[in-house]
Structure 1
């Protein structure tokens, strides 16, 4: 054969494997018997991009998208050849072999991550990490993160050391779906006498088109959710499937293949630099890295000394490709622990090398011991049985699940015990100590409550009953308390930093016999301004605001209590839309009680207290609040009365993490429900003064 003649580019995996794991002999055979080691090099490039961008740049590279495409490429080829060889899909063999190959390494990393969580991470994060460990072990971490991505309060949390399992979860769900799809294609082809490969190609092309269309739509409307949505990512795997079915028919001149190889590699490496992957993907923009990887595969082994495959088949790179799966598993928890210990947001040049080096060592050990070492304990014949494969996977993953469940149960029991301690109000005066310095001086030496580990769950009845809706919801949930025939009705309306006042407002209203109606939504200011989130119109907020205005128009409360300013570390101001909304309420004959926004902190409340000492957990009011209330200087409608309780939360011009033995802020801007309840007397006094009722 003429060396310049392109060789067939059929790829044959020696075993079914994840795109981030490798075949037993680390070789991918071509249809003519040649090898395709450049795919191993492509894996290495992808995992290096993922690790380097995470460690030093704090960005997303597009490397994960390459892994998804390669998964579709390899798995589809394996399944199709299996059907052609045996006439059917051997479901049990397929799934158990995957479990044997993928679960041991994942179980080892998850177990180690739980140990590191206990040793390194603050207790306030333990419960969430354990929940995500179980989600990762059961391959639905992507959905756990999708729910968190649209939860404004969850968005404030530090990254989980297992959040990178989201892509492996999508792959796991793909492994369940794809054999069924191929089997259905085989059945359909036999029934209607169509070529099997053509039937599979038609089916996966339809999946590609539907998923890509959905992905473009949902990414435009809710990118945070779409990023983790299996349906919005499935087209990337289907693209690899299409390539697996047509690549052997592609005949390209060697010169063009040399160009495509380098162009694809350059496009892949530059993707994360030129695009904001984390805010744009997975819509059509994700065609950039996946398309780049397709070009590299189409280029194949060129035989040219100037081809990209010369680099991709370089022995150190292909050896790294063998470690791509365990390296991907290890790099993120190692990085999260390093950042927690050092207090950094990005790794230093030297520290990053340490993270990468440690990850490589752990990946090599995992590859040697967890991925292959267990086979030494059984006879060769037993290793090939489904029972052995599933037994090994279960023996490793079940203890991980059991430990995480037992640990979570212990956390819940301890949390319940701490709640009982709060029944001693004399030891936990909270804001009452601000009004009574003598009380502050004789406080008992008791632990801070709520415990930092419980802080994120320290929410009011308003939150627990769903009155406060998440980012993704557009539903208006109206909660009503107090006498229906009360002489006065107050409506609490706004975003999350209006909602955190609810316990104080509720107790004040209850003491006065007022009716309290409340409805709030995360990230949605009660303003006539169009709301934006991640650069696009926040449609859920716009729908919610329209419903809120309709409710107020029908309800006609005596007063609406809402935020009068927005305080951020960039300053404090009054939105024009606030003033317009207040003027609209004036037209309804409704009074407005404008409550000044609390300062935003320079620290995370619960985590700072836990890491101690508490004295360092302090932030000046001036870091985010203006010297004078901006609302007081605005041209206010006549129905507006301003209120300011900053001194009750941040006495003396400083926002301390703990006041009167109670944790004030659970994150950098939201007050715990426990502290808010101690604000009830101050809130009642302020409301009476503002309204004259």
Structure 2
């Protein structure tokens, strides 16, 4: 039974880690197989061990598997999944195999008092290390320095030794808990207290961050507060509370509004998704072309298309800059799909309007694979820039209405790897302005889509839609983390779903000339 449970858990762990790694790390079913290995070891071997030369070699191999995993695994390693097999099997080998010969025997080393002491404290170390790992980077700016990490590790060991000696051991040996029924009652009461306290704490935090009278329909919610300062007062104060909470906004990247409407970076061909009006009722089609920064506008574009009686053809791809170029020395399903999309939309008479949007960050490609005559302008185009704006010219030549959304600001780039905007807001609940960014600091590239407005200034069917003023004040030269009770980004570079909905009416007004062309 333990073997079957372990095998099933391992299979689920591999599947769920690939599907949703963050959740897979914490949930119990993905970890049962690790305990099952220890249980099988205890059942099959009991107190016996494999010794001798080969047993000792396997023991040292197990230690190497553990240390190798600690050194080689990074935040990019899919874990637990199959990668957890290496340190876990290594631990199993270390327990089951080894020799006791002086100096060469792995179990001779691991029978020394300092090592067995660490074993005695190991469960306490496991418990104490977690709050240190989670909270110290936020409380101590120097937490990433190696000597600080060493001090923290030693501190965890000391605290674990003390809690084992003066709390856990006396508790395990307490006469009052010797009867099994008393142990069960104490455990049940303890778990109930922990769950009640956790639930109460979360509820209190939610109440602090969420105003009961604030919703997405509020006339001063999100962008509407920025657009109507006379009616809404100062939209930057953050006094309205937050809706939704920082935790809910941070979860949005894993919960897309339109699942399956964005192709994967390595998908072959041109996967498509249809939104907007029903085909039987629609008069014409709007196409959306770009990367995840085009996908993030779908809640607004879907509503705009439905109100205009148009179908919405979504041709977006994660991590794929909208361009007319392919990589020179590498496979490039993104570039190949983009070239196919260029031809397809040019030849499709049903497609009247094409919306292009992209991230500021791009790379890996050079000059365009398609030759077009670009207008003369004062913009100094690099090969990469020509590749990005070539699709615009291709579709203008095909007599399409082309809508280009300017690149959105990229907030707090220097903190992007360690802290998202929702996390920053959660840590600065009394002063969300601490998470704001200077407008100029959000420009992290040449922003070719924004510069295209100068290249195509005389093009009749070209429509540039600025986006910076939806999130920033040009007068204050500041981009905001919170506007009208809405956190503006769900990470550091993608506008939150709730904020996109708040800006839909404004976006529709700006796009309307292209739909009337």
Q: Which of the five TM-score ranges fits, normalised by the shorter chain?
A: 0.5 to 0.7
Q: Which of 636, 640, 644 is the equivalent residue of 2:466? A: 644
Structure 1 length as normaliser, TM-score? 0.52
Answer whether contact 1:467 1:518 (CA < 8 A) is retained.
Answer: no
1:430 alignment counterpart = 223
Deviations 1:436-483 (A, max 9, x none): 8x8499638963456287145369999999424599999987554699
Matches within 5 A, 1:211-610: 236-237=34-35, 239-240=37-38, 243-244=41-42, 245=44, 252-253=51-52, 255-276=53-74, 279=77, 286-300=84-98, 302-343=100-141, 346=144, 348-350=146-148, 352-354=150-152, 356-358=154-156, 360-362=158-160, 364-365=162-163, 368-370=166-168, 372-373=170-171, 376=174, 378=176, 380=178, 382=179, 385=180, 387-410=181-204, 417-420=211-214, 425=219, 430=223, 433=226, 439=230, 443=234, 447-449=238-240, 451=242, 454-457=245-248, 466-469=257-260, 479-480=275-276, 485=281, 487=283, 489-490=285-286, 496-502=292-298, 504-505=300-301, 513-515=308-310, 517=312, 523=318, 525=320, 556-563=350-357, 565-568=358-361, 592-602=402-412, 604-609=420-425
Q: Which of 647, 650, 671 is the equivalent residue of 2:495? A: 671
Change (3 A) 1:218 1:324: same
Change (3 A) 1:373 1:644: same
2:371 alignment counterpart = none
2:374 alignment counterpart = none
1:395 offset after TM fit, Å? Answer: 0.8
Q: CA separation in 2, counterparts of 1:235 and 1:554? A: 53
Q: CA separation in 1, counterparts of 2:472 and 2:207? A: 32
Q: Which of 585, 603, 618 is the equivalent residue of 2:437? A: 618
Q: Does 1:686 align with 2:499?
A: no
Instruction: In structure 1, list runs of 5 or more residues that go unmatched.
Output: 1-180, 183-203
Change (3 A) 1:588 1:359: farther
Name the SS of the counterpart of 1:600 in structure 2: coil
* Higher relative contact order (CA closer than 8 Å, sequence separation 6+): 1
Answer whether contact 1:649 1:664 (CA < 8 A) is retained.
Answer: yes
Matches within 5 A, 1:10-409: 181=1, 204=3, 236-237=34-35, 239-240=37-38, 243-244=41-42, 245=44, 252-253=51-52, 255-276=53-74, 279=77, 286-300=84-98, 302-343=100-141, 346=144, 348-350=146-148, 352-354=150-152, 356-358=154-156, 360-362=158-160, 364-365=162-163, 368-370=166-168, 372-373=170-171, 376=174, 378=176, 380=178, 382=179, 385=180, 387-409=181-203
Q: CA separation in 1, counterparts of 2:163 and 2:13? A: 38
1:279 offset after TM fit, Å? Answer: 1.2
Deviations 1:478-509 (A, max 9, x none): 55469974545535576653344345546655
Q: CA separation in 1, counterparts of 2:235 and 2:78? A: 52
Change (3 A) 1:338 1:218: closer
1:657 alignment counterpart = 481
Give aligned pairs, total: 473
Change (3 A) 1:480 1:228: same
Deviations 1:309-366 (A, max 9, x none): 2321121221221121121012011221111112467355236514641464156326
Name the SS of the counterpart of 2:411 in structure 1: coil
Structure 2 length as normaliser, TM-score? 0.66
Instruction: In structure 2, list runs of 5 or more residues that go unmatched.
Output: 367-383
